[in-house]
Amino acid sequence: MDMANVSVSVVREPGCDDLPLPAYETDHAAGMDLRAAVKEDVVLQPGERRLVPTGLRIALPPGYEAQIRPRSGLALKHGIGMVNAPGTIDADYRGEIRVILINHGDESFSIRRGDRIAQMVVAPHVRVTWETADTLDATVRGDGGFGHTGH
């Protein structure tokens, strides 16, 4: 299967040339790690959330978004997640990418410059045109909500 490659312009914030650009760690990885561009260590106390800079600005082509997601290793080992997972970077946003981290763990967690704090997946998206209707087509599930399938 041939995977599409999309060119995305990236600019580093001043003083962030020491941080590597996001990169795929394996041949079939969907996400690229984002790194903390903190000037000094940041300590997240249990229950605390913090906006952490990455030192990057990007220009996605129209029809694409960047999804910012938690790193599973940080979640499992330390209880570190994102408040708004996944976060969305729209194609017309030109500000610095920053990640809202939260410490769900029982111990404080230190974030150091260059630490991998989140992952970014660039993906195409579609735009919706709404068509109002009087009824919707019937399905087996119907209007069954949470837990409807019994699983």
CATH of the domain at 65: 2.70.40.10
Residue corresponding to tokens 């570190």 = 80
Which residues form the domain of 47?
A: 28-124
* In-domain check, residue 115: yes
In this structure, are residues 55 and 74 in contact, taking their beta carbons and an 8 Å threshold?
no
pLDDT tens digits, 29-78: 999 999 999 999 999 999 999 999 999 999 999 999 999 999 999 999 99
Find the angle CA(115)-CA(121)-CA(127) to the nearest 5 degrees.
145
Q: What rounded mean pLDDT belongs to the chain?
A: 94
pLDDT tens digits, 32-46: 999 999 999 999 999
pTM: 0.88
Q: With a cut of 80, say whether residue 101 has pLDDT above it.
A: yes
pLDDT, position 28: 93
* In-domain check, residue 146: no
What DSSP designation does 78 have? H
Enter the tokens of residue 13.
Answer: 């914030």
Q: How far apart are the first and last CA of the chain?
A: 34
Indicate the number of domains in the chain. 1
Pairing of strands 64-69, 116-124: antiparallel
Q: For residue 72, what is the enclosing H or E element?
A: helix 72-78
* In-domain check, residue 151: no
Q: With a cut of 80, say whether residue 148 has pLDDT above it.
A: no
pLDDT, position 151: 57
